[in-house]
Amino acid sequence: MKVLVTGVAGQLGHDVMNELAARGIEGIGSDIRETYSGVEDGTAVTRMPYVQMDITEEMSVQKVLSETAPDVVVHCAAWTAVDAAEEEANREIVYKVNVLGTKHIASACKALGCKMVYISTDYVFDGQGEKPWDPDCKEYAPLNVYGETKLKGELAVSECLDQYFIVRIAWVFGKNGKNFIKTMLDLGKTRNALKVVCDQIGTPTYTLDLARLLVDMILTEKYGYYHATNEGEYISWYEFTKAIFRQARELGHEAYDASRLTVTPVTTAEYGVSKAARPFNSRLDRSKLTASGFAPLPTWQDALARYLKEIDY
């Protein structure tokens, strides 16, 4: 099997490439830059084959896919800066990346007869209520530009292909790039008090664990929509922050001691500042994974513990 992975300079693409290497599967990385531009951590992705590809250019996509002839494309590349996507100056490129780029890849996959994995988000829903979203729910109502474009990407895949996996994730963190955990750890070292939103509820997703699941998926023909986050109870960003600092303290990082650092819960309205509307309900129903025979991801507490031992802070 040969797998082309887009967005290898990002958190998930980085880990998917390494997971392919760990299983002896041929992987080819791609991104917008001329050469690999992700973290130089000495892992397999930094040495694996790489090809430049601009997904917003149809000819670039057709050329790369026809020349590499993959059996599967794992499409991790996306515009994920949610607030920046709201800016008028960015909307055209957000659409080109998340919608047109995905259409180009889906069309090329159809021409080659290969499988496609599309990474999506809970933001395709309106984020209301408390019931976890079912992966096959069609009650789409995105609240922001990011969600709108990711939904259009989903539809581009499902309308073009039969051999696809659309995998929605939430609250992503990984080694290669920025994320909520790194932001909180940085802020916690320099401030004595933090205010964190307590009325947005979901579960985190560790890209290392997700990458293993995605490779499990592409070895099957169990196509369709899935929700994949780490297991464990649903939590708020405030509760996640408290867990981050608690585990960091347990690992000997005294800067996060509760006697020095106060974390206060606030509502989304009280927090303010965000350009993009955020969903209150990011609960994703993951039960279809086990029903389809896939191993669930470890708990988010376990994922957080492993992650904090991997990064420098």
The first and second tokens of residue 37, run together, are 């531009």
Helix segments in 251-286, DSSP class H: 268-271
CA distance 217 to 293: 10
The DSSP bridge pattern shows strands 205-206 and 262-266 to be: unpaired
Residue 129 CB neighbour total at 10 angstroms:
11
Residues marked as catalytic: 146
The first and second tokens of residue 16, run together, are 């998917």
Residue 105 phi, psi dihedral angles, 5° rounding: -70, -45
The 8 Å CB, 24+ separation contacts for 300-303 are 300/203, 300/204, 300/206, 300/229, 300/230, 300/231, 300/232, 300/235, 300/240, 301/232, 301/243, 302/230, 303/204, 303/206, 303/208, 303/209, 303/230
The dihedral sign for the CA sequence 300, 78, 119, 196: positive
Q: Across the beta sheet with 115-121, what order do the strands follow? A: 50-52, 26-31, 2-6, 72-75, 115-121, 164-169, 224-227
Residue 274 CB neighbour total at 10 angstroms:
13
The first and second tokens of residue 258, run together, are 């509760």
User: How far, in whole angstroms, is CA 22 from its chain's centroid?
Assistant: 21
CA distance 268 to 200: 8
* Residue 123 contacts residue 153 (beta carbons within 8 Å): no
